[in-house]
A and B are shown apart, each in its own frame.
Chain A
Amino acid sequence: MKPVIEVEHLNLSQNGNFVLEDINLTIREHEFHAIIGPNGGGKTTLLKVILGLIRPDSGMVRVMDGTPDEMRSHLGYVPQFRTFDFQFPISVQDMVVSGRLGRLKGPFRRFTHEDTDAADEAMETMQITHLKNLPIHDISGGERQRAIIARALAGKPSVLLLDEPTVYVDGPTAVRFYDILSQLRESITIVLVTHDISALSPDVTHISCVNRRLFTHGDNQITDDMLAGAYPCPVELIAHGVPHRVITEHDNRVFGGRK
């Protein structure tokens, strides 16, 4: 599979402290790549570096064989829920179609049929078509989250980057939500950032652990050494399929993953 995101020897410091140190990461086409790690470990910052919103001090970032700035239109971004102002007077449909603006050129940037069709398709995928005329203020947290993802999908990205997408949704909603993401993986690459490893989808194909440095085995296993490197304290793992079972130290050290 072709690499879509390549990060090599990336360093970034803010206020004199390393936020990201010697990060190496390759994400290939059709991966469902989860980036886990504690809060404040630099996960969101890494996403923003990949998006070209933050410049690294050193190292290389390539997105589909180009710089992030050149290739940004291939990236769909789902920012953290809490960064939104849901008081903003905008309907679900208008919010979703705004994800098409990056594809429009010229001084006026008016939406065409192609744009509204893409927005309709994205709302269909995220199962929010019935909410399209409601203001985002009037819909539930889970529905808002799906609307934010639909906006990213409307831009027809090759790679979807999601930042903590399940924080404000309940368990059953999260399961349905991961089902949707798994279907999407047939056409696009998914990169998901979360601190909540208990809520990870079994369909995740690759896992990286980030706390300033990045730890990975290039597959969907979480191992003790990854966690020991990334988390400052002992972590208990909860297995998928068998809800709430805690994997002991001597278990098979396998976390999730359908083979």
Chain B
Amino acid sequence: MIEALGFEFFRNALIARFLASIACGVIGSFVVVKRMASLAGGISHAAFGGIGLGYFLGIDPLAGAAAVALGTSGATAWIRMKADQHLDTLVGAVWATGMAAGILFIYITPGFAPDLFSYLFGNILLVPRGTLWLMALLTAGICTIVAILYPRLVAVTFDEEYAAVMDLHPNRIMVILLLLTGLTVVMLIQIVGIILVIALLTLPAATARLFSRSMKELIVGASLLGIVFTTAGIWLSYAFDIPSGATIVIVSACVYFGALPLQRRIQEHRQTS
């Protein structure tokens, strides 16, 4: 591990995983408490369609992903307002359509067709330095917006109806939260891949939630766990020469499933103490 730090690509990977963990810890906490993990999955897969579209149109795939992900986020927020009960089915449809469109676009684009695998799992060991700056900027932006809106975000994710009674305009707050989710997905899709984006958005926050007593604890816990999971994953991937993205997901999932039975014990301990 220590000698690996001598390589720039490895240092970049560590910075990238740090930024990705913080963005996912902050947004993922709200995704998990608001029970919209499948929605985040839908947005990620729609973004994949956007990447394919970008290649097909000959523009930057990331621009295509951004347009489609943010568009899907906005549309989802609008549909949520109109008909809450159909959202689940709709997410499934968007999920599949995004994936299929992405594959078709990449297939029919003449010339160089990128490897599908790299968009599913990404490769955190191949992050260019310029991308790191963009990631840092977006992470700072996401954290700033969440910090400003924090009391309202907590109120709306906890009880949307009461937030409406207090004139907090929960629909607007939810649009912002969904757009931030879309932004996080786009930022990370080329670096860590779609599957890892969903894993990082949900698993650290879901694990931290088992032991958190407040949203602040959850956000800090999820970010720290994200850093631990990704570091462990990157190290294992380097040590055993296995794919980094998939390794990070498996490490995160093992800790999450391992922690589930501990939840009850910790809560009992808390009540008796």
Residues of A within 8 A of B (CB): 51, 53, 72-73, 75, 77, 79, 83-85, 87-91, 94-95, 98-99, 101-102, 104, 107-111, 135, 137-138, 151, 155
Contact = CB atoms under 8 A, between A and B. Distances in A.
A102 B168 contact: yes
B214 A135 contact: yes
The 10 A-B pairs at the shortest CB distance, nearest first, are namely A102-B166, A89-B212, A135-B213, A77-B165, A98-B155, A109-B151, A89-B218, A101-B166, A88-B158, A101-B155
Interface of B: 33, 35, 148, 151-152, 154-155, 157-159, 161-168, 209, 212-215, 217-218, 267, 270-271
Contact of B168 (A51, A101, A135): A101
B210 to A, nearest CB: 10
Given A89-B218, A90-B215, A73 B155 contact: no
A53 B158 contact: no
A90 B267 contact: no
24 contacts: A53-B161, A77-B162, A77-B165, A83-B161, A87-B209, A89-B209, A89-B217, A90-B158, A90-B214, A91-B214, A94-B214, A98-B151, A98-B154, A99-B162, A99-B166, A101-B155, A101-B163, A101-B166, A102-B166, A102-B167, A137-B267, A138-B270, A138-B271, A155-B166
- Most A CB contacts (10 A, CB to CB) among B165, B167, B217, B218 go to B165
Contact of A75 (B148, B157, B165, B213): B165
B150 to A, nearest CB: 9
A85 B162 CA distance: 13
A189 B162 CA distance: 19
B33 A89 contact: yes
B23 to A, nearest CB: 20
Nearest to B166: A102
Most buried by B among A73, A89, A95, A135: A89
Contacts of B168: 101-102
A51 B164 CA distance: 9
Contacts of A87: 209
Contacts of A73: 166-167
Nearest to A75: B165
Contact of B148 (A84, A88, A108, A138): A108
Contact of B151 (A79, A111, A151): A111
B214 A102 contact: no
Nearest to A77: B165
A151 B213 contact: no
A72 B165 contact: yes
Nearest to A53: B164
A98 B158 contact: yes
B266 to A, nearest CB: 11
Contacts of A111: 151
Contacts of A91: 213-214
A155 B166 CA distance: 9
A73 B157 CA distance: 20
B26 to A, nearest CB: 14
Given A101-B168, A102-B166, A102-B168, A90 B161 contact: no
Contacts of B209: 87, 89
B46 to A, nearest CB: 27
Contacts of A77: 162, 165
A94 B154 CA distance: 10
B214 A89 contact: yes
A101 B152 contact: yes
B154 A90 contact: yes
A85 B267 CA distance: 17
A107 B144 CA distance: 12
B160 to A, nearest CB: 10
Tell me which of B155, B159, B270 has the highest count of chain A C-beta atoms within 10 A of its own C-beta: B159
A53 B165 contact: yes
Which of B158, B162, B166 lies at the interface centre, i.e. has the most chain A CB atoms within 10 A of its CB? B162
A146 B162 CA distance: 16
B162 A79 contact: yes
B122 to A, nearest CB: 30
A73 B35 CA distance: 29
Nearest to B29: A89
Contacts of B158: 85, 88, 90, 95, 98
Nearest to A134: B213
A51 B166 CA distance: 10
Nearest to B209: A89
A100 to B, nearest CB: 9
B165 A102 contact: yes
